Amino acid sequence: MPATEKTVAWNGGVQQEGLEILTRGGGMIVSPTKVGYIIMVSDRAGLERKFDAKVRKRNKPGVVLCGSMDELRTLAQLTPEIEAFYQEHFDKEILLGCILPWKEEAIARIPDDGSRELMMDGRGTSCFVIRYGTPSEKLAEALWRDHGKIAFASSANPSGKGNRGLVEGIGERIEGEADLIIEANDYVASIQPGKTVETRFEQGVMISMVDESGKLIPEQKGERSVSPAPVMIRKGLDIDKIMMLLSNHFLSWDYRQGQYY
């Protein structure tokens, strides 16, 4: 654990110190997930700090942490098929992130401070993530439910490098920039028991549910060879389970590791 007073052990529930920071202007915290540590922010000032701390390019769609299916349905455009796909992952507590367009009326919920341009790619899409891990889920859920704020995230490690699922791996720059660091190494390790630093997944599966222009893919309705179709663009934790569920929900889908990222 970094030798800093800003590091606290996860309390097993909603980390109030983290929630307070995320509800004030420009706050930035580090929080544990199933695959490692992430940076969490909720406005433009926090996003700017995130990009600076990670030295990260700005051309990628931002990550939106949904604490509930209701939040996902409120923010993102979904077809009935995509919603059912998400719902099964939510019920089975499987980490899933999909590239989706925002609902027009939901864009107004993004802080009117320039956050939009940092949370979307040029097509107006973001990655909406569910079941990413109890410590961060509880924070995002409370942030949305009690304060009407959206949790934005990025992995807490120097861009292009992993944190090995250890709070010690977030790097000096992020450690120095964060307002609070929530440590839960044991929780992170418990998700992938028996895995080593070399064999563990450091990210979740990501699937694109939009075409090249950012428009939502069509429903398949049981028909074959419907195009465009879901595209798995990043492998990660529980990829075997997710591929099975993809096959159950969609007759056509594709695998293009790194196509966008």
- Residues 121-137 pLDDT 10s: 888 899 999 999 999 99
Report which of 162, 114, 176, 138 is spatially closest to residue 10, judged by C-alpha positions.
138
- The Cα 86–Cα 72 span in angstroms is 9
Note whether 251 and 224 are within 8 A (CB): yes
What is residue 160's predicted lDDT score, i.e. its pLDDT?
Answer: 65
Find the mean pLDDT for residues 37-45: 94
What is residue 120's predicted lDDT score, i.e. its pLDDT?
Answer: 86
To the nearest whole number, what is the mean pLDDT of the chain? 92
Task: Inform me whether the pLDDT recorded for 1 exceeds 60.
Answer: no
Find the mean pLDDT for residues 1-17: 84
Q: What is the pTM of this model?
A: 0.93
- The Cα 167–Cα 154 span in angstroms is 15
Greater confidence, 153 or 55?
153
- The Cα 193–Cα 180 span in angstroms is 27
Cis-peptide into 228, omega within 30 deg: yes
What is residue 197's predicted lDDT score, i.e. its pLDDT?
Answer: 84
17 confidence band (pLDDT: 50, 70, 90):
very high
Task: Inform me whether the pLDDT recorded for 56 exceeds 70.
Answer: no
Q: Could you report the per-residue pLDDT of 152-201, keeping only the tens digit for each?
A: 999 998 766 777 889 999 999 999 999 999 999 999 999 999 998 889 99
In one-letter notation, the amino acid at residue 49 is R
What is residue 261's predicted lDDT score, i.e. its pLDDT?
Answer: 53
What is residue 3's predicted lDDT score, i.e. its pLDDT?
Answer: 46
Report which of 133, 84, 69 is spatially closest to residue 245, judged by C-alpha positions.
84
What is residue 53's predicted lDDT score, i.e. its pLDDT?
Answer: 87
Query: What is the per-residue burial (b if ≥16 Cβ within 10 Å, else e) of 81-101?
Result: bbeebbeebbeeebbbbbbbb
In one-letter notation, the amino acid at residue 6 is K
Q: Token digits for 10?
A: 């996860």
59 confidence band (pLDDT: 50, 70, 90):
low
Rg (CA), the chain: 17
- The Cα 46–Cα 48 span in angstroms is 5
Domain residue ranges of the chain, discontinuous segments joined by +: 7-201
Three-class DSSP category at 44: helix
Note whether 30 and 180 are within 8 A (CB): yes
What is residue 58's predicted lDDT score, i.e. its pLDDT?
Answer: 63
Q: Token digits for 103?
A: 């609902």
Percent of the chain whose predicted confidence (pLDDT) is above 90: 77
Task: Inform me whether the pLDDT recorded for 55 exceeds 90.
Answer: no
What is residue 111's predicted lDDT score, i.e. its pLDDT?
Answer: 85
- The Cα 62–Cα 261 span in angstroms is 12
Q: Token digits for 35?
A: 């695959």
Greater confidence, 81 or 155?
81
What is residue 222's predicted lDDT score, i.e. its pLDDT?
Answer: 94
Find the mean pLDDT for residues 74-89: 98
> How many whole angstroms from its chain centre is CA 21?
19
What is residue 34's predicted lDDT score, i.e. its pLDDT?
Answer: 98
Q: Which CATH superfamily is domain 7-201 in?
A: DHBP synthase (3.90.870.10)
Q: Could you report the per-residue pLDDT of 218-251, keeping only the tens digit for each?
A: 999 999 999 999 999 999 999 999 999 999 999 9
The secondary structure of residue 30, as a DSSP letter, is E
Percent of the chain whose predicted confidence (pLDDT) is above 70: 94
